[in-house]
């Protein structure tokens, strides 16, 4: 596994990507794309959070990690339309070009694995799971 923390690097890169895409910030302000554990979350909000780092077993050098990240979407609304719209914007923002990670790490792949949508009493809640393949590289 990489010696640098791949989960933190991926989280920072996902936040940078989401705050840098107008289609996302048109729905959720960049100031409401956060890493926090308080409720209520800002309305609407994208909360970056839980991660799991797994050695995919693809390298004898153990320089590769698969990071499973969870992104929560919160919005006060009577339906799930808003969180589904935000989830779609997140999906589009993350597909395509690789994430830019901290020095010493590179992104081999980043994809939305699945989305779930849940109802709360007054809010709708979306959960987007992202999987990122990270490799440790020698500094240039």
Give the tens place of pLDDT for each residue, 15-36. Answer: 999 999 999 999 999 999 998 8
Question: How far, in Å, CA of 69 to CA of 50, rounded?
Answer: 6
Instruction: Please indicate, yes or no, if residue 125 is contained in any of the structural domains.
Output: no
Instruction: Please indicate, yes or no, if residue 71 is contained in any of the structural domains.
Output: no
Contact 135, 108 (CB under 8 A): yes
Residue 1 reports pLDDT greater than 70 = no
Instruction: Please indicate, yes or no, if residue 74 is contained in any of the structural domains.
Output: no
The total of structural domains in the chain comes to 1
Instruction: Please indicate, yes or no, if residue 6 is contained in any of the structural domains.
Output: yes
Q: What is the DSSP letter of 4?
A: S
Instruction: Please indicate, yes or no, if residue 62 is contained in any of the structural domains.
Output: no
Instruction: Please indicate, yes or no, if residue 25 is contained in any of the structural domains.
Output: yes
Tell me which residue range forms the domain holding 27: 1-55
Instruction: Please indicate, yes or no, if residue 28 is contained in any of the structural domains.
Output: yes
| pTM across the whole model | 0.91
Instruction: Please indicate, yes or no, if residue 136 is contained in any of the structural domains.
Output: no
């Amino acid at each position: 596994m990489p010696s640098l923390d791949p989960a933190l690097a991926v989280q920072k890169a996902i936040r940078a990507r989401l705050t840098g895409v107008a289609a996302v910030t048109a729905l959720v302000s960049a100031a409401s794309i956060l890493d926090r554990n308080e409720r209520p979350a800002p309305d609407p909000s994208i909360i970056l959070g839980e991660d799991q780092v797994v050695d995919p077993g693809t390298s004898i050098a153990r320089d590769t990690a698969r990071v499973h990240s969870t992104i929560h979407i919160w919005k006060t609304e009577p339906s799930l339309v808003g969180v589904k719209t935000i989830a779609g914007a997140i999906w589009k923002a993350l597909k395509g070009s690789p994430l830019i990670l901290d020095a010493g790490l590179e992104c081999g792949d980043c994809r939305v694995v699945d989305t779930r949508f849940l109802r709360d009493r007054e809010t709708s809640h979306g959960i987007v799971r992202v999987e990122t393949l990270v490799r440790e590289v020698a500094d240039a």
